[in-house]
Amino acid sequence: MMFQGMARRQMSKQLCAALVVACMAMATSPSSKAAALAKPTCRTTDKTESGFTGSMTSAELAAGPAVYKCNVDLVGQYQGEGASWQLTAWKNCAYFDQRNNGSAGSTTEAHPGVAVLDVSDPTHPTATTWLATEAMIDPWESLKVNPARQLLAGDQRPLSPPGFPTSPGGGFDVYDISADCKHPVLKTDPGLQLPNSVGHTGQWAPDGKSYYVTPLRNDISIVAVDTTDPAHPTVFTNGAHTFTSSELPTPRIHDLEFSKDGNTAYITMLGNPNAATPTQNGFAIIDVSDFQSHTNPNPQYRVLSFLTWDDGSTGAQNALFATIAGKPYVIFADEGAGIVATGGCPQNKSGSGFPRIIDISDPKHPTVVSKIQLGVHDPANCPATFAQPVTSSVNTSGAQVITEGGFGFSCHYCNVDNIDDAKILGCSCFAAGFRVFDIHDPLNPKEMAYYKPKGQGTKVLPGSQYANSNNPASFVRNYDWTTAKVSFPQDRGATSGDIWITSQDNGFQVVHLFSTFAVSPTSINTGQRQTEKITATITGAAATAGANWSIQEGAAGGTVDPDGTYHSPPTAGTYHVVASPILDSSLQQVVTINVAGHTGTSYGCGSAEGTAAFGALALLVLAFRRRTRRA
């Protein structure tokens, strides 16, 4: 019976342990029903959003255009004539495209094409030239730099809407920026035509020897271009491919990114929520190693897996690969929502597209681990945002119709601070502006900061897509569209610096994330094997995460816990505890620790040696007293 009782107690302990593990799993796993992220803690001097995050209240709209920001400061700006969809950069140079105003009645830019900026002085970015070759007139979202070979490329967007000139076909331009990034040199022959390369978006393979065009068409899904010789690019054998329904749910590929070795492509499948002709929205993982090898005479695309969703977030845009906390993820952005098809808020679904983080540890079974939703993405807030005056159009009766529009507050492109160890995510979210998120824990993202450029009212900006797409000249633009992939210093081959963004009415902007960091005390005098507490105080953008702690001298200098508790070593000396915010290692602080040694045979009462010595002395005194009594 005793054995039976012990067995029951053992089973009870095991059951309790299992319940604890289960509770921990439930606590750390993301909810299947995503909720809007909490508002970031901003500076008292910031002009912040007073409503739910991403939107503007009626009072804010009535007050007129203004900059709304939280923990972000504008460093410098080049507005120019406005911007189109994409930004890319290298070293101290930035490149952004402008709208092609070839339509009848449009105001043409004074300097059409891709603007080249010198950002050596980030407070005063200046234009050095404009690239106006065929594919650079408006390369849409395809404008990309390849760091490995220092090449800039863009593919031709077909100009098909009424009133536009006939599309010249598959233009593809490559520029060399290795010698002087401020003055790119055209490598390809002017007017080069690549069969089927009718671009919309595109991306370099990491080694720069291949470029993949994604036309966003039903009749052709993807075009792989061999750029081994950038002066004479050619389409790979089998490089132009249309995915069948047996391969993917939809053949319309919007954009793509790559694994670091270039053998795997992460592509976005743009779905159509229209009830009459619905198609699935999501992303796919494609093996492109046949093309990447450049040796296979019969290369093929191989679909490894795909993932779709139906939560209101549609218009699949970009699928960025990044490593977070040692694991591989894709950060996915959708550029639209179901309101495009329904003309109203879809039931219990988001009214704008939002980012999500997808675990791709098993490439054959990708899994969404978290959704990054602002207040404007919460289905409950869709009715309030749906009628906000983001865009305007004129209906058949001649009346002006003001609405959120198809893009609304969706997040178009996102980028990370470091693809090898991502902690910060920056997203361009149309009317919601530039948003910054803490993703060091991918299961629990947090908003850190935001910057919403000032609306430009009725200002004429011929290079801006937003100012010239549907909106009549009389429409007052209280918002701006922030749409390009933001540039972190690592993207530009730098180790430090600010973030670069473009918005379509405000052009190119350099912005700085504000954070402060302090430790207390900054010096400590202590003994051997003692415990001391160091307090870290973080304000601003980096406050959503804690601090990193280390000891400059390694294990010889003792240990420090994640909460700043320091444990001194058994050896006297001067040591240094190094601390910095998890989200901003540039704000490093050092605490000097002076560990005192022993003098002669005396011991500090707080040390282990002192305690032992005191105990031994007490035993000797007690023994002496006993002997005295006997005598």
Sign of CA dihedral 313, 318, 319, 324: negative
Q: What is the pLDDT of residue 483?
A: 97
Contacts of residue 292, defined as CB under 8 A and 6 or more positions apart, other chains included, come to 205, 207, 210, 261, 262, 263
Could you give the CA distance from residue 337 to residue 316 in angstroms, rounded to a whole number?
Answer: 10
Locate tokens 């000891």: which residue?
551
Q: What is the pLDDT of residue 404?
A: 77
Q: What is the pLDDT of residue 31?
A: 39
CB-based contact 58:439 (threshold 8 Å): no
Written as six digits, the tokens of 118 are 């010198």
pLDDT at 605 over 90: no
Quick: pLDDT tens for 313-369: 888 999 999 999 999 999 999 998 766 555 678 778 888 999 999 999 999 999 999
Q: Hey, which residues does 281 pair with through a beta bridge? A: 309
Mean pLDDT calculated for residue range 471-492: 94
Letter for the amino acid at 387? Answer: A
Instruction: Using DSSP bridges, classify how beta strands 589-595 and 523-526 pair: parallel, antiparallel or unpaired.
Output: parallel
Count the alpha carbons within 13 Å of 470 in the hemisphere toward its beta carbon. Answer: 16
CB-based contact 418:490 (threshold 8 Å): yes
pLDDT at 525 over 90: yes
Phi then psi dihedrals of residue 462, to 5 deg: -65, -20
CB atoms within 10 A of CB 191: 12
Could you give the CA distance from residue 140 to residue 87 in angstroms, rounded to a whole number?
Answer: 10
CA dihedral 126, 128, 132, 133 (to 10 degrees): -130
pLDDT at 8 over 50: no
The single-letter DSSP state of residue 171 is: B
Percent of the chain with pLDDT over 70: 83
Write the secondary structure of 550-583 as one string of H (helix), E (strand) and C (coil). EECCHHHHCEECCCCEEECCCCCEEEEEEEEECC
Written as six digits, the tokens of 6 are 């012990």
Count the alpha carbons within 13 Å of 489 in the hemisphere toward its beta carbon. Answer: 11
Q: DSSP 3-state assignment of 62?
A: helix
Mean pLDDT rounded to a whole number for the chain: 87
Mean pLDDT calculated for residue range 259-269: 97
Letter for the amino acid at 423? Answer: K
Q: What is the pLDDT of residue 357?
A: 98
pLDDT at 609 over 50: no
- The CATH T-level fold of domain 33-513 is Methylamine Dehydrogenase; Chain H (2.130.10)
Confidence of residue 100 (pLDDT cuts 50, 70, 90): confident
CB atoms within 10 A of CB 430: 30
pLDDT at 107 over 90: no
Across 234-243, 571-580, 616-625, least confident range: 616-625
CB-based contact 378:409 (threshold 8 Å): no
Contacts of residue 630, defined as CB under 8 A and 6 or more positions apart, other chains included, come to none
Confidence of residue 523 (pLDDT cuts 50, 70, 90): very high
> For residues 111 and 106, which has the higher predicted lDDT (pLDDT)?
111
For the chain, which residues make up each domain, given as ranges? 33-513, 516-597
pLDDT at 279 over 90: no
Written as six digits, the tokens of 290 are 């046949």
Confidence of residue 37 (pLDDT cuts 50, 70, 90): very high
Written as six digits, the tokens of 9 are 């107690």
Q: For residue 294, is it left (φ>0), alpha (ψ between -120 and 50) or beta?
A: left
CB atoms within 10 A of CB 112: 21
Nearest to 577 by CA among 559, 591, 557, 594: 591
Cα angle 593-597-602, degrees, rounded to a multiple of 5: 140
Helices (H), 318-456: 339-342, 382-386
The single-letter DSSP state of residue 487 is: B
pTM of the model: 0.88
CB-based contact 321:257 (threshold 8 Å): yes
Written as six digits, the tokens of 542 are 């980096």
Q: What is the largest CA-CA distance in the chain?
A: 122
Mean pLDDT calculated for residue range 524-540: 98
Q: Does domain 516-597 have CATH number 1.10.150.130?
A: no
Sign of CA dihedral 520, 526, 528, 531: negative
Contacts of residue 484, defined as CB under 8 A and 6 or more positions apart, other chains included, come to 83, 85, 86, 87, 96, 412, 413, 428, 501, 502
CA distances (Å), origin 517, targets 70, 249, 474: 17, 49, 47
Write the secondary structure of 295-350 as one string of H (helix), E (strand) and C (coil). CCCCCCCEEEEEEEECCCEEEEEEEEEEEECCEEEEEEEEEEECHHHHCCCCCCCC
Written as six digits, the tokens of 221 are 């899904």
Burial 230-246 (b: 16+ CB within 10 A, else e): beebebbeebbbebeee
Residue 252 CA, chain-centre distance (Å), reads 24
CB atoms within 10 A of CB 605: 10
CB-based contact 567:595 (threshold 8 Å): no
Quick: pLDDT tens for 488-517: 999 999 999 999 999 999 999 999 999 999
Across 278-292, 546-560, 576-590, least confident range: 278-292
Q: DSSP 3-state assignment of 508?
A: strand
